Amino acid sequence: MRAERAGFDGVEIHGAHSYILCQFLSEGLNRREDRYGGNAENRARPINQIIQGVRARCRPDFSLGLRLSPERFDLKLMEIRELARQVLAEGRIDYLDMSLWDYAKLPVDEAHQERTLMGWFTDLPRGDVRLGCAGKIMTPADAQACLDQGMDFVLLGRAAILHHDYPQRLAADPAFLPLATPVTAEHLRNERLGPAFVKYMQTWKGFVAEPETELA
């Protein structure tokens, strides 16, 4: 409600990357013994209740998304697939954002490597809910590959950090390719990253070039 009152058109519920809702979903991290722990249905209860709460309190056209991680953090791929199936079928969100780490990778779980990690979600019925993904989508060819394999949209992380106007560049030039990493801190500042963000990106191995040392 606060985001709506502040003038935003929507929000995304972050249930990925080991943040608190992701920790609830994790059988390994969630040690609760009440109705929010134990089986997969209980561990997904906080996300479902948040979705219900947003829909009950915000206007009907307020955009609501959900982000999920399908593996790591002691998550089980088939549990996350079932949660994704449920939220897509219920239609209470507008879009589901799957953070795949690498859109082309196979699952870590060897029992489910007959298809890509993305493929475990693109076959789910989705009605009016849109399905998107993130994960090393750098070039226009990467984005097109995701769309060709059944995604409705893609999300840019590193690529958008390298070029804040990536969509406009691509629209103007279909052959556009983002800069290769590492890039300079000056480039990131020119792309409108603040000092704290530039410092954070310098902790990402291979993303920001080391400053050249002056010869004595």
Which residues are marked as active site? 19
In this structure, are residues 83 and 112 in contact, taking their beta carbons and an 8 Å threshold? no
Strand order in the sheet with 63-68: 10-15, 63-68, 95-99, 130-134, 153-154
Q: How far is CA 114 from CA 101, 110, 149, in A?
A: 18, 9, 15
In this structure, are residues 210 and 195 in contact, taking their beta carbons and an 8 Å threshold? no
H helix or E strand, kind and range, residue 37: none
Phi, psi angle pair for 90, to nearest 5°:
-70, -30
